[in-house]
Amino acid sequence: MNEEDIRGRLLLPYIHDLGFDVSEISLEMGFIVRLGKKKYMRGRSDILCKRNNRNLFVIELKRDSVEITQDDIDQGISYARLLLDDIAPFTIITNGVTTRIFDSITRKELLGSITGQSSFYNNGYTLSTEEDLKIRYEALKNFVALSPTNLKAFCQMQVYDRMGQIIGNINSPYSKFVKEIHIQRQELHTAFQEFLQSSQSIFGLVGSAGVGKTSAICSLALQNIENMFVFFYNAAIIRSPLECIAQDLNINFSSRSETDIVLKKLDEIGRFADKTILIFIDAVDENTNPDISLELSEVALMAKDLDKVKIVISCKSNIWDTILKIKNKPTHLHEELCKNHNLIKSLSNNPGFLLEDFSEEELEKVIPLYQEVFGFKGEISKILAKELRNGFFLKIFSEVYMGKKVPEKITDQGLIKKYLKKSLDDTDMGYISGARILAEIGKVLLTHSYSHWEEYKDEGLDINHFLERLNFSIDDNIPEDLFTRNILIKSNTDDSYNVSFYYSKIRDYVICFHSYRLDKLSDDDFYDILCDFYRNHIGRSALDFYIENARSSHLQTLVRFKKDKALSYVINYDSYLENNFKKFKNKFDPNTDGDIGILLPDDLIKGSGYGLFPLEEGTKSKVVCEKINDFFGTESDLLWQRGINIIYSSQMSLFTNDQYLVVKRNIFKQLAEILKKGKFSAYNSEFLLVEEVCLILYYYPEKLGYKFNIEDFFLPRFKSIYPIDLKDLKQRVNKFKVAELYRYESIEKGLKDELIDKALKENNIPEYEMTGDAPPFTELGKIIDILLSNGISEIKQHYLPLPDKSLFEAKTFYEKNKPQDIRAILKFQFSESQAILYLTEFFEKFEKCYSEFVEYCFPTYKDKFVFYSSMPHEYIFYMEDSDILKWGLFGYRASRSGEFKITIKNKNKSDEAFITEEIQLLRSFSLDMILKIRSFAQYPVKTIDKINTSKLDGFCVLRNWVYKFLEDDMKKIFEENK
């Protein structure tokens, strides 16, 4: 007999005879099994019997020719355990010849009187929650693993249930996946197939709003539902993917600490059924759980060690970095994605598959599908097709022109206006109320002050910020219809969620034509409001959108506004340099001591970029517009000829309200670089000037005709170059310049000598403007002139005490000790008494040099320099064994006596520095630090700009210490002017 015969001829009559009513018997499709929380599907077991409205037993039938197997038993018990209301206490398996009865809870076979053998039955169908979930999970595992039909049915039910309204037809405003208008993205398909064949566990699908991420991920899920165990979750409407998986599998789940339980159970099912588990988590950027990044990190960490589990995550590209990092540190999700994806520059060098707008080939395939479904008429022109490459924009277009003839070309303004009207009219709030709310949201976005990081991320603003600015009551919120209709979008943050527009063009339209009604403004009112649009990236984007549709008088007003602001900027820039940094104004862009002009492109509507240039004497206009299409292209030679050294790619900072702050920010940014590169020189400081003279003379004597007998050992021995006759030195510098003029001329030596002598007698000295490895004699000549004008004609001796140990002693020490650190041989060349003398004179001269340097270079800022303002200082050195030739610490304080002072103490007394001596900071110290500047970071600074003076840079010790303390003194100023 077959199963039908056994059921009809044997079992049903027998069950009736036992007293079961027809209403208590369900056949095949007549009952439902429960899968997870609130998820149900039809079972396939042959007979379910109830008593007193409670499930009693299920009967699984087999042919009489088929022996009962363990799989048959497991399948029958699974049905009993998965029943909707109560687990059936008993499971009966029969083939008409053999009948076996099992306890559905313990799985034990029962003989004799069965009711007394079931604790579950006798205890009133009672199990603990944990035990109930465990039993149902085991049943589910058998249910889906032992039957391909059940597996497919389970996956379809789970996927379609979780997809909810995002899968549907064109008439639903919530649908993001419409099968009839979806095309397979070939690059994505190829990458995904490679992922399925690989051993990697995580796939990241990333893209900007509207490119079709959700549509693509839905398609991938449905494509694989036939052969794999597929789960789908819409992260926008759930809190925790893991909690939802646990619910779907009847797994007891209480906290993130049990991540491994959920995923291991999934992997167990996969191995049991020999199927890959595919988990799709869509739109993680819209999830409002502040811990979603941490949960996904934990998921990735566990998944990498599982055999059958693969996870696919989709996210908006501007939120991706936030998902992959916690406190700016890469998560385990980032680590696992790197195994499967390359780093993508446009994703902040994060891994993922970047889904972009439709290619031309894809557009050719998809437009006919949209045309057939939406019924718009006419041909899509090439101009129009270019605008429709974004999937979301294509959908907007199709909805607006449904059943209508399409135009040759469209304006974004007209299309979005129609789309918003159509979308908002279909909501409870209506068009007028919805547009008013959107207009206020647009104002909030435009008037917010964004940090550079917020501007780069472009994630919108916190919901609470909107609610406060919109004056909503405590129980009010932004209408949900604005999110479900893809006008606004949510994205999670650490403890809340952000709100922004789903599509930037809709945001720009709302701001321009609803928030500010730019098209209704007079030219003067339009001029006055333009600064507001240049305060952040949102306003700039909106203004760019508007000028595509603006009337001609508004375009002319914009040009006038830009010229006015450019003029204001260059006047303020020039004035600030003149008033504050006149002594080295030529170190700033555009490297001139004279007036400054600004060059703009002739097309001030679409053109970008600007450059500052030296203004020729007598030129009236500071603003010049030229027909330059590309500041960085072939026309750049013209810019260099004008004296433009730096090309600024954007004009936006010129147009802000707080232009004075922009001027200061740009100047101080350059100032920091000037400081870093050592381009300051104080020509009022005698010791700094003498330091340069003696070092240039020491390292370039032959080129000046000197024949010094110089011998040294790691440390210059300056004694041989003194005394220095500055008038004679000046003559030698001039002779070198004239000789360089004739150096490459084919002139006989005798005649060349005559020409040189003649030039010197007539004081006809040529300019010597050389860079690189050329001798720094132009600077040397300038310094000599300053010293001579100050009445100094001779430098009799070195400005600091010289080493008092002989070269023989130094070399002997080196041979005997072979020190690994060159600093030891530098210090050895000084006796302790000479070292103390050097230390004292160095710091005394350093204070004088610093004071002169600040007063010369920064007269208007000197009072902000803490070290300068607290002079003179007392320096206290805490040295090992009180020996200045050993290692130690030093600090300083404003002098209590009003006099410069040096004190040397034992290092073990350094604890008293902060309390007794009132020193704010201790720094490490060794004598070599003031003998030669070690190479570290930007030190030693260059002695002379544009000249390679590496031989002498490290020994310009006064200059370098001035720069070190200047760097400290200017930190606060730089911070204030970021």
- Lowest-confidence region among 623-627, 877-881, 887-891: 623-627
pLDDT at 595: 95
Token pair in block for residue 271 = 């191995």
Nearest to 714 by CA among 924, 880, 939, 934: 934
CA torsion, points 585, 591, 596, 601, in degrees to nearest 10?
-140
The pLDDT confidence band at residue 410, using thresholds 50, 70 and 90, is confident
The pLDDT confidence band at residue 41, using thresholds 50, 70 and 90, is low
Global pTM value? 0.68
pLDDT over threshold 80, residue 905: yes
Q: If you ran DSSP here, which 8-state letter would residue 224 be given?
A: T
The pLDDT confidence band at residue 37, using thresholds 50, 70 and 90, is very low
Nearest to 919 by CA among 894, 939, 937: 894
Residue 192 contacts residue 311 (beta carbons within 8 Å): no
The pLDDT confidence band at residue 249, using thresholds 50, 70 and 90, is low
Q: Which residue has the higher pLDDT, 697 or 161?
A: 697
CB atoms within 10 A of CB 742: 16
* Predicted confidence (pLDDT) per residue in 608-640, tens digit: 889 999 998 888 899 999 887 655 554 566 777
pLDDT over threshold 80, residue 780: yes
Strands (E), 807-935: 873-879, 888-894, 901-906, 923-925
> Which amino acid belongs to residue 608?
S
* Predicted confidence (pLDDT) per residue in 280-317, tens digit: 999 998 887 888 899 999 999 999 989 999 999 999 99
**Tokens 């209480």 label which residue?**
254
First-to-last C-alpha distance (Å) of the chain: 90
Long-range Cβ contact pairs of 728-732 (< 8 A, separation 24 or more): 729/693, 729/697, 729/704, 729/780, 729/784, 730/781, 730/784, 730/785, 730/788, 731/760, 732/704, 732/705, 732/706
pLDDT over threshold 90, residue 966: yes
The pLDDT confidence band at residue 30, using thresholds 50, 70 and 90, is very low
Token pair in block for residue 794 = 């001779």
The pLDDT confidence band at residue 414, using thresholds 50, 70 and 90, is confident
pLDDT at 353: 97
Query: CA angle 267-268-270, nearest 5°?
Result: 60
Distances (CA, A) of 452 to 193, 276, 511, 978: 39, 44, 21, 11
**DSSP output for 63-103:** -TTS---HHHHHHHHHHHHTBSSS--SEEEEE-SS-EEEEE
Q: Which residue has the higher pLDDT, 708 or 459?
A: 708
Rounded CA gap, 833 and 836, in Å? 5
Rounded CA gap, 322 and 313, in Å? 14
Rounded CA gap, 595 and 19, in Å? 111
For the segment 786-815, the average pLDDT, to the nearest whole number, is 95
pLDDT over threshold 70, residue 716: yes
Nearest to 441 by CA among 427, 417, 462: 462
pLDDT at 790: 95
Token pair in block for residue 961 = 């210490």
Q: If you ran DSSP here, which 8-state letter would residue 278 be given?
A: E
pLDDT at 465: 86
C-alpha gyration radius of the chain: 42
The mean pLDDT of the chain is: 87
- Lowest-confidence region among 95-104, 132-141, 701-710, 906-915: 132-141
pLDDT over threshold 90, residue 128: no
pLDDT over threshold 50, residue 31: no
- Lowest-confidence region among 638-642, 689-693, 931-935: 638-642
CA torsion, points 851, 857, 863, 865, in degrees to nearest 10?
-70
Rounded CA gap, 237 and 480, in Å? 12
